[in-house]
Amino acid sequence: ALMITDECINCDVCEPECPNEAIYLGPQIYEIDPARCTECVGHHEQPQCVQLCPVACIPVNPQHVESRETLMQKYLRLQAEK
Ligand code: SF4
Ligand code: SF4
Protein backbone atom coordinates (compact mmCIF):
# COMPACT_ATOMS: atom_id res chain seq x y z
CA ALA A 1 0.00 0.00 0.00
CA LEU A 2 1.00 3.61 -0.52
CA MET A 3 0.77 6.43 2.00
CA ILE A 4 0.38 10.21 1.92
CA THR A 5 2.99 12.26 3.74
CA ASP A 6 2.46 15.56 5.57
CA GLU A 7 3.62 17.38 2.45
CA CYS A 8 0.08 16.90 1.13
CA ILE A 9 -1.49 20.27 0.23
CA ASN A 10 -5.10 18.95 0.29
CA CYS A 11 -5.59 19.71 -3.38
CA ASP A 12 -8.37 17.05 -3.64
CA VAL A 13 -7.07 15.73 -6.97
CA CYS A 14 -6.27 12.15 -5.96
CA GLU A 15 -9.33 11.19 -3.95
CA PRO A 16 -11.88 10.85 -6.78
CA GLU A 17 -9.39 9.01 -9.02
CA CYS A 18 -8.69 6.09 -6.67
CA PRO A 19 -10.36 2.98 -8.13
CA ASN A 20 -10.55 1.36 -4.68
CA GLU A 21 -11.93 4.31 -2.70
CA ALA A 22 -8.87 4.01 -0.48
CA ILE A 23 -8.23 7.76 -0.17
CA TYR A 24 -10.12 9.89 2.34
CA LEU A 25 -9.74 13.26 4.02
CA GLY A 26 -8.33 12.73 7.52
CA PRO A 27 -8.19 15.27 10.34
CA GLN A 28 -5.34 17.25 8.71
CA ILE A 29 -4.58 15.87 5.27
CA TYR A 30 -5.65 13.17 2.90
CA GLU A 31 -4.91 9.61 4.01
CA ILE A 32 -4.82 6.15 2.40
CA ASP A 33 -6.48 3.11 3.95
CA PRO A 34 -3.81 0.40 3.53
CA ALA A 35 -6.50 -2.30 3.57
CA ARG A 36 -7.98 -0.84 0.37
CA CYS A 37 -4.90 0.38 -1.55
CA THR A 38 -3.73 -2.18 -4.13
CA GLU A 39 -1.19 0.31 -5.55
CA CYS A 40 -3.70 0.23 -8.42
CA VAL A 41 -2.87 -3.41 -9.22
CA GLY A 42 -5.88 -4.90 -11.02
CA HIS A 43 -7.01 -1.50 -12.32
CA HIS A 44 -4.10 0.43 -13.83
CA GLU A 45 -0.46 0.02 -14.82
CA GLN A 46 0.59 2.92 -12.60
CA PRO A 47 -0.73 4.19 -9.25
CA GLN A 48 -3.22 6.88 -10.27
CA CYS A 49 -2.71 9.03 -7.19
CA VAL A 50 1.06 9.14 -7.72
CA GLN A 51 0.59 10.14 -11.34
CA LEU A 52 -1.71 13.02 -10.40
CA CYS A 53 -0.22 14.36 -7.17
CA PRO A 54 1.33 17.78 -7.86
CA VAL A 55 3.72 17.62 -4.89
CA ALA A 56 4.85 13.95 -5.13
CA CYS A 57 3.97 13.11 -1.55
CA ILE A 58 2.75 9.50 -2.02
CA PRO A 59 5.48 6.90 -1.32
CA VAL A 60 5.17 3.22 -0.47
CA ASN A 61 3.99 2.79 3.11
CA PRO A 62 6.95 1.18 4.93
CA GLN A 63 4.50 -0.54 7.30
CA HIS A 64 2.71 -2.15 4.35
CA VAL A 65 5.26 -3.31 1.77
CA GLU A 66 3.45 -5.88 -0.38
CA SER A 67 4.28 -8.07 -3.36
CA ARG A 68 2.37 -7.77 -6.61
CA GLU A 69 0.78 -11.13 -5.83
CA THR A 70 -0.44 -9.91 -2.44
CA LEU A 71 -1.77 -6.73 -4.03
CA MET A 72 -3.63 -8.79 -6.64
CA GLN A 73 -5.22 -10.90 -3.91
CA LYS A 74 -6.34 -7.71 -2.17
CA TYR A 75 -7.82 -6.49 -5.46
CA LEU A 76 -9.76 -9.75 -5.87
CA ARG A 77 -11.01 -9.57 -2.28
CA LEU A 78 -12.20 -5.98 -2.76
CA GLN A 79 -13.95 -6.94 -6.00
CA ALA A 80 -15.75 -9.78 -4.21
CA GLU A 81 -17.10 -7.26 -1.65
CA LYS A 82 -18.96 -5.34 -4.35
FE1 SF4 B 1 -5.84 4.34 -4.67
FE2 SF4 B 1 -4.19 3.39 -6.51
FE3 SF4 B 1 -3.45 5.43 -5.00
FE4 SF4 B 1 -3.68 3.05 -3.88
S5 SF4 B 1 -2.20 3.63 -5.50
S6 SF4 B 1 -4.47 4.96 -3.05
S7 SF4 B 1 -5.37 2.16 -5.03
S8 SF4 B 1 -5.08 5.45 -6.49
FE1 SF4 C 1 -2.55 15.56 -1.20
FE2 SF4 C 1 -1.22 14.86 -3.41
FE3 SF4 C 1 -3.73 13.95 -2.96
FE4 SF4 C 1 -3.31 16.51 -3.57
S5 SF4 C 1 -2.93 14.76 -4.90
S6 SF4 C 1 -4.68 15.72 -1.95
S7 SF4 C 1 -1.38 16.90 -2.53
S8 SF4 C 1 -1.89 13.50 -1.74
Domain of 70, CATH number, reads 3.30.70.20
Does 6 fall in a domain?
A: no
Name the residue at shortest CA distance from atom 3 of ligand 1.
49
Does 71 fall in a domain?
A: yes
Does 5 fall in a domain?
A: no
Is 20 close to ligand 1, i.e. is its CB under 6 Å away?
yes
Separation between Cα atoms, residue 55 and residue 71, nearest integer Å: 25
Q: 6 CA distance to ligand 1 centroid (A)?
A: 17
Does 30 fall in a domain?
A: yes
Separation between Cα atoms, residue 33 and residue 1, nearest integer Å: 8
Does 66 fall in a domain?
A: yes
Name the residue at shortest CA distance from atom 3 of ligand 2.
14
Separation between Cα atoms, residue 32 and residue 22, nearest integer Å: 5
Domain of residue 23, residue span: 15-81
Which are the contacts of 63, defined by CB distance < 8 A and separation ≥ 6?
3, 34
Does 43 fall in a domain?
A: yes
Span 38-80, pLDDT tens digits: 999 999 999 999 999 999 999 999 999 999 999 999 999 999 9
Question: pTM (2 decimals)?
Answer: 0.96
Does 49 fall in a domain?
A: yes
Q: 60 CA distance to ligand 1 centroid (A)?
A: 11
Q: Is the confidence at residue 82, as pLDDT, over 90?
A: no
